[in-house]
């Protein structure tokens, strides 16, 4: 098949010279890759990902009313594990609303803009977060513009009546959530996240933008 | 990602990123774009690290992802734009580069560029070229054969132009 040794030699030498001039700043790129990976893990571009964090909250079981950000919290109502099982969802909210939450919880403007793009499965003009809770697992997905949900983290969880501790199956990240009923809905507050501040900002945006309602 | 996994991922990244970026460059012929695409592949690796790290050859996994992303990206980009970028880069960084060869290679279809990079630059056997391209060995041989003929024709045209 190859019968021109001169051409072969020229191609090998030429490609090698060109490629070896490529010297990426590996250390800087590594840090950026880890930041992006953490953000995406929270939001669920990965099928094996991070849903753990999100779902925890959902377990309460109820059906929900939706609260807008800043609404005063209703009195805490005891939760049961059984009541949490099911699928919960936020309404479709404008990108600007998610972005505003990201900034409110401490993220910068540029990071907020970036977060509501690819990490959320976008770009899109609206997003809905869905939480699916079973006896043993929870999973989060994000629906950009009402389209097919993009699966997120998956993991196990422990529930003590008001708090959920979730450990994501693939990476071992651990997050703790405070749960409370909000009328028929479920309000979730992110208390801790062992995967760092980027994860924490992302999770707070996902969980604390609004309450979740029962789906279907 | 747990501490030990993070350390293992970081070590793998440092060891492999440059090599993958160089191969991706030979598909895209644009350094910045090659870094971006390679980074996308390594972010995917981050997300799947707990599973991929247990594979026998995790470097093949990320390389395959990077090549797929690069070929897809190259399909989207108009070839004329790629050649213009290549010319600008060559003008900005004069060196030993064989610019005629680079132009000829950059003008190939993306899948052929990938085959050429893997066979000539990475010096891989056809079985591995096929595996990384996600096709049969026979299909990889055809792709490479066409690429090589196109390179020979274009380089011969260039030499004839020089004589004139």
pLDDT at A57: 32
List the Cα angle B69/B116/B136 in 5-degree steps.
75
| Rounded-to-integer distance, Cα B100 and Cα B160, Å | 13
Q: Which of B23, B17, B21 is nearest to B121 (CA)?
A: B23
Q: Which residues contact A31 (CB under 8 A, 6 or more apart)?
A: none
Q: Which of A91, A71, A76, A56 is nearest to A212 (CA)?
A: A91
Rg of chain A over all Cα atoms, to the nearest angstrom: 21
* Residue B8, pLDDT above cutoff 80: yes
B 59-88 → A contacts, CB under 8 A: none
What three-state secondary structure class fits A11? helix
pLDDT at B156: 85
| Rounded-to-integer distance, Cα A127 and Cα A30, Å | 29
Supply the pTM of this predicted model.
Answer: 0.56
Tell me which of B74 and A74 has the higher pLDDT. B74
pLDDT at A56: 32
Runs of H (alpha helix) within chain A: 5-20, 26-43, 52-58, 81-84, 95-104, 109-115, 197-208
A 153-192 → B contacts, CB under 8 A: 170-173
Preceding peptide of A18 cis, ω within 30°: no
Q: From the CA of A43, how many Å to the nearest CA of chain B? A: 11
Q: Average pLDDT, stretch B80-104?
A: 68
| Rounded-to-integer distance, Cα A123 and Cα A135, Å | 33
Q: Which residues of A touch B148 (CB under 8 A)?
A: 1-2, 4, 7, 11
B31 inside 8 A of chain A by CB? yes
Q: Average pLDDT, stretch B37-52?
A: 91
Paired residues of A174 in beta bridges: A167
* Residue B61, pLDDT above cutoff 90: yes
| Rounded-to-integer distance, Cα A134 and Cα A156, Å | 9
pLDDT at B159: 62
pLDDT at A170: 58
| Rounded-to-integer distance, Cα A78 and Cα A59, Å | 12
Q: Which residues of B touch A24 (CB under 8 A)?
A: 17-18, 21, 35, 38
Taking the domains of chain B in order of start, what are their residue ranges? 3-163
Q: Which residues of A touch B2 (CB under 8 A)?
A: 171-173
- Around Cβ B93, how many Cβ atoms within 10 Å? 10
What's the fold here for domain B3-163? Butyryl-CoA Dehydrogenase, subunit A; domain 3 (1.20.140)
The tens-digit pLDDT sequence of chain A (216 residues) is 557 889 999 999 999 998 988 899 988 888 888 888 877 766 654 333 333 333 333 333 222 333 333 333 434 456 788 888 888 899 999 999 999 999 999 988 888 888 888 778 778 899 999 888 888 887 778 888 888 887 776 778 888 888 888 887 656 678 888 888 887 788 888 888 887 777 788 889 998 999 988 886
User: Lowest-pLDDT range, A99-108, B1-10, B74-83?
Assistant: B74-83
Query: Do A18 and B26 lie within an 8 Å CB cutoff?
Result: yes
pLDDT at A181: 82
Q: Average pLDDT, stretch B111-132?
A: 94
What confidence category does residue B78 fall into, taking pLDDT thresholds of 50, 70 and 90? low
Q: Which of A74, A183, A82, A186 is nearest to A129 (CA)?
A: A186
């Amino acid at each position: 098949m190859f019968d021109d040794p001169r051409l072969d030699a020229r191609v090998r030498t030429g490609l090698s010279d060109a490629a070896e001039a490529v010297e990426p700043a590996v250390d800087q790129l590594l840090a950026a890759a880890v930041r992006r990976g953490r953000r995406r893990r929270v939001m669920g571009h990965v099928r094996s990902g991070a849903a753990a964090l999100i779902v925890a909250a959902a377990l309460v079981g109820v059906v929900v009313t939706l609260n807008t950000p800043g609404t005063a919290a209703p009195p805490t109502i005891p939760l049961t594990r059984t009541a949490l099982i099911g699928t919960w969802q936020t309404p479709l909210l404008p990108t600007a609303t998610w972005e505003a939450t990201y900034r409110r919880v401490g993220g910068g403007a540029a990071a907020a803009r970036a977060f509501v793009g690819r990490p959320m499965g976008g770009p899109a003009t609206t997003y809905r977060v869905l939480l699916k809770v079973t006896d043993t697992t929870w999973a989060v997905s994000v629906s950009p513009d009402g389209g097919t949900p993009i699966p997120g983290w998956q993991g196990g969880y422990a529930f003590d009546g008001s708090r959920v501790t979730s450990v994501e199956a693939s990476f071992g990240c651990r997050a703790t959530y405070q749960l409370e009923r909000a009328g028929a809905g479920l309000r979730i507050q992110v208390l801790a996240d062992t995967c760092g501040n980027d994860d924490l900002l992302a999770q707070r945006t996902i969980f604390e933008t609004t309450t979740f309602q029962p789906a279907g | 990602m747990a501490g030990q996994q993070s350390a293992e991922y970081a070590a793998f990244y440092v060891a492999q990123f440059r090599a993958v970026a160089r191969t991706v460059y030979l598909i895209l012929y644009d350094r910045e774009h090659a870094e971006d695409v390679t980074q996308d592949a390594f972010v995917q690796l981050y997300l799947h690290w707990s599973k991929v790290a247990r594979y026998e050859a995790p470097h093949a996994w990320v390389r395959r992802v990077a090549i797929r992303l690069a070929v897809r990206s190259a399909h989207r980009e108009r070839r004329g734009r790629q050649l213009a970028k290549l010319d600008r880069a060559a003008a900005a960084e004069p060196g030993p580069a064989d610019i005629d060869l680079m132009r000829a290679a950059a003008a190939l279809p993306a899948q052929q560029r990938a085959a050429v990079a893997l066979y000539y630059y990475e010096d891989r056997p056809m079985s591995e070229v096929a595996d990384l391209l996600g096709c049969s060995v026979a299909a990889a041989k055809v792709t490479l054969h066409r690429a090589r003929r196109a390179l020979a024709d274009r380089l011969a045209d260039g030499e004839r132009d020089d004589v004139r």
